Each structure stands twice: as structure tokens, then as C-alpha cells.
Amino acid sequence: MKDYPRIVVAPPGPRAQAEVARHDRYASTSYPKEYPLVVARASGAMVEDVDGNRFLDFMAGIAVAATGHAHPRVVAAIQEQAARFLHICGSDFYYDGFSSLCQRLAALAPGPGPKRVFLTNSGTEAVEGAIKLVRNSTRRPGLIAFTGAFHGRTYGAMSLTASRARQREGMGPFLPEVYHVPYPDPHGCEACGRGPDCERHGVAPIEDLFARRLAPRDAAGIFVEPIQGEGGYVVPPEGFLRRLRALCDAHGILLVVDEVQSGMGRTGRMFACETEGIEADVLLVAKGLGSGLPIGAIVAREAVMKWEPGAHGSTFGGNPVCCAAALATLDLVEGGLLANAAAMGERLRAGLRALAARHPVIRDVRGRGLMVGLELASPEAVHAAEWGAFRRGLLVLGAGPRTLRLAPPLVVDAEDVDAALRLLDETLAAPA
């Protein structure tokens, strides 16, 4: 029997309320904030708040705590590196952890061709760097992205993002030469009515774009999430990535696969795009890579990452402590967490399908591994479920217009999954 979830005072308790008030007095008003969770400590899949409540974490700090909170091997790697040196600037000088992480990621990226790696501090910086890279490499301006996509908050990444108007409101003008096309509906395309197995499904809108608005010879890159994250955990139909790959090959366009949320073992494979057997020209990772420390990466085919010295750099990107955390994370993900994510994901989805039979508010259960979306009837139902789960000791988050996302640390076991299902069952029966 585990010592969590355990609610000892209805959250937010008095200490949590005081912290929320202090934060709200001084912090930027832009932070969206989901619910008043105020963390004191966390371990594995357990998060304890300042009032002594223990929560079962099924959001992992937005799909970041891949190895669980404060995994002892990650913490030891961080401490060991911190005691040696904290910083020297990997853009200008050399150290073992930087080279090791580049070498490791280059070997892990799917596809036979040799790769090179640029290390960043975040997902949005990986996207930002990839925009520069594809333009620099092709000497073309056009960027193609999908409706519903989330690629980050800096200007280039925000220009590709089309997930919520609120994120762009009052921020324009955006980067020029960005074209958005619909992300394929897994059930088929309304326009042609031929279903998801149509050989043009998902790429027909891009072909149309090429015919009417953007000559393919002006397109530098197509940016795609292999499973849309913030857009609502949308799984595209089988074959979509292969069709995109073929389209890119036909026109000399670079395929940029944004695995910031879906990568690092979350789907039960190291990278979600592996299911389609494609090789990305540019693969982006962040979030889970450092188990909570800020690090991301642009992994590109060697023929693509050939920009001149000085073309791109970063003071902190690939910081030695973050590299140590990332190397320890990779050891753990490869050393068993991938298989666990696949098995626990199966268990979770089977349990959710059983819940769907009892709760008509559930409209769809989808996902791969531990990247699971539960589509509910309305945005209000998602909001009520988030709060209801929080009050019962379960941390979940919404995604997209009406999806509850379940993205626990990859260390969850059967007892955790069953506890989450029980709490969701209770929550959906009486959300308040």
C-alpha cells in the first residue's frame, strides 16, 4: 500500500492559499495557472503540497518528469556535476557531458543517416533554432505548420503555433511566410469523404497550398508534432508522417518533427515518429530530456546541419549540470522505462475504455504509451474534472478544446494506474 494519494486538508489548504496570494501579488499576470497546487516536495509519481496533502501525479509538470520526481540517479548525476563545475559555455568551449549528450542523441535519432546536435535550454528555443536552420540550409523562406499546433512562445515558435488564439492575441505581427494547414482528422477528411486510409489524407491541404499560394520551391520546412500535444493529444491517422516525408522528398523541403512533448519515451518508444519508420531531417526534443532541468536539442541530419561557425549559439544551452541530468535520464529511459510506459499505457487505456462505457461524458480515449487523451463532452467538463481530481488527490491537466491529458511520469506502476482510474471514476461521477 502506498502513502499517496492522501488528502489531509481540502486543497488549497491555508499554507497553499497564502502562497498563492503572495505569488499573485508579485508574479506576472500572464501565467495561465490551472489550479492552486503549491508544491513542497515530490518523489517518483508523488507530489506533496505545503499543507501535507499527497497527490498522484498524472501530468508530470506538463510531461517533463519522465523519470519521476527527483529520481536518485538523476539527482546524484546533478550533484556530482554541480560539485565539479556549473558553467563554462558550451558554445565556446568543450566538456565531456556536452559531447556525450550530442553523441548519444545523434545515435538515438531514428534513421540510418549521420546526425549532428545543437543543445538548447527549452522547447521553444529548439523550435526557434530549427526555423533558422531550415531557412539557412535551404535558402528558402516558407514555413508550413498545422492548425492546433503548439511549438512554443518565442516569436518564431509562436508564429508556427495555432493552438489557442489567446496565446497570439495582441502579439502580432508574426514571422512572415508562415502557412498553416489543417492537422488530419483521425476519422477522415470531410472534404473528400474518403476516410483515413485515403492516400492523400493529411497532405491534400499542403498540395492545395502548393497549387495556389506557396510554390514548393519556396518552402523551407514542414513543422509537425507526431501526436499533437497542447492541441488536444490528437493522434493522426497511420501513414500521415510517411506521406509528409514523401512530399518533402519530392520538393526538397525539410521535415521538422517536433517531439518536445511526445519524445523521450512518453509514447512507449523513444520517439513517437518511430511508429511510422520515418527519418526526420530535423528532430526536436526538450521537456522530458532533463527530467526537470532545462535542456532541449535540435538533432539534424548531417547534410542539413552545416551552418557556418557563429550562425547559432547560446550562453546556457547544454549547461553541464543539465547535460548530466539528460545523460542519466537517457540511461533510465533506455534501461526499462520505455517498456514500462508501453505496458502502463495499455493498462491505462483499457481502464479508460471501461470508464467510457459507464460515463457518457467521455467521448474518446486515445493516445500511445503514457501520452493519453480523454476527450470529454465540453470544455466545462474538462475544467470540472481537473478540479474534481485535484480535490481527490490526482493531478491532471486539460489540452486542446475539451481533452483531459494523462501524462504521468514514466515510472508509474500498476497500483498508480489503478488508483488514477479509481479517482477518475469518482470524479466523473461527481466532478465537484
- Residues near ligand PLP (CB under 6 A) are 122-124, 127, 150-152, 225, 229-230, 258, 260-261, 286
**Cβ-based nearer residue to ligand PLP, 325 or 428:** 325
Q: Which helix (H) or strand (E) holds 405?
A: strand 403-406
| Pairing assessment for the beta strands 219-224 and 142-146 based on DSSP bridges | parallel
Distance of closest approach, residue 84 Cβ to ligand PLP, in angstroms: 26
Vertex 251: Cα angle to 188 and 202 (nearest 5): 5
Q: What distance in Å separates the CA atoms of residue 57 and residue 47, rounded to the nearest whole number?
A: 6
Burial class (CB in 10 A: 0-12, 13-18, 19+), 188: middle
Q: Which helix (H) or strand (E) holds 375?
A: strand 371-376
Q: What distance in Å separates the CA atoms of residue 303 and residue 167, rounded to the nearest whole number?
A: 35
Distance of closest approach, residue 128 Cβ to ligand PLP, in angstroms: 9
**Cβ-based nearer residue to ligand PLP, 259 or 416:** 259
Distance of closest approach, residue 338 Cβ to ligand PLP, in angstroms: 20
**Cβ-based nearer residue to ligand PLP, 216 or 398:** 398
**Cβ-based nearer residue to ligand PLP, 152 or 205:** 152
Q: Which residues contact 104 (CB under 8 A, 6 or more apart)?
A: 327, 330
Residue nearest to ligand PLP (CB): 123
Distance of closest approach, residue 159 Cβ to ligand PLP, in angstroms: 13
Q: How far is CA 23 from CA 9, 28, 153, in A?
A: 21, 9, 22
Distance of closest approach, residue 62 Cβ to ligand PLP, in angstroms: 6
Q: What distance in Å separates the CA atoms of residue 210 and residue 366, rounded to the nearest whole number?
A: 32
Vertex 89: Cα angle to 86 and 94 (nearest 5): 95
**Cβ-based nearer residue to ligand PLP, 260 or 327:** 260
Which one-letter amino acid corresponds to residue 384? A
Distance of closest approach, residue 228 Cβ to ligand PLP, in angstroms: 8
**Cβ-based nearer residue to ligand PLP, 268 or 431:** 268
Distance of closest approach, residue 169 Cβ to ligand PLP, in angstroms: 18
| The three three-digit cell numbers of residue 69, written as one number | 520526481
**Cβ-based nearer residue to ligand PLP, 142 or 400:** 400
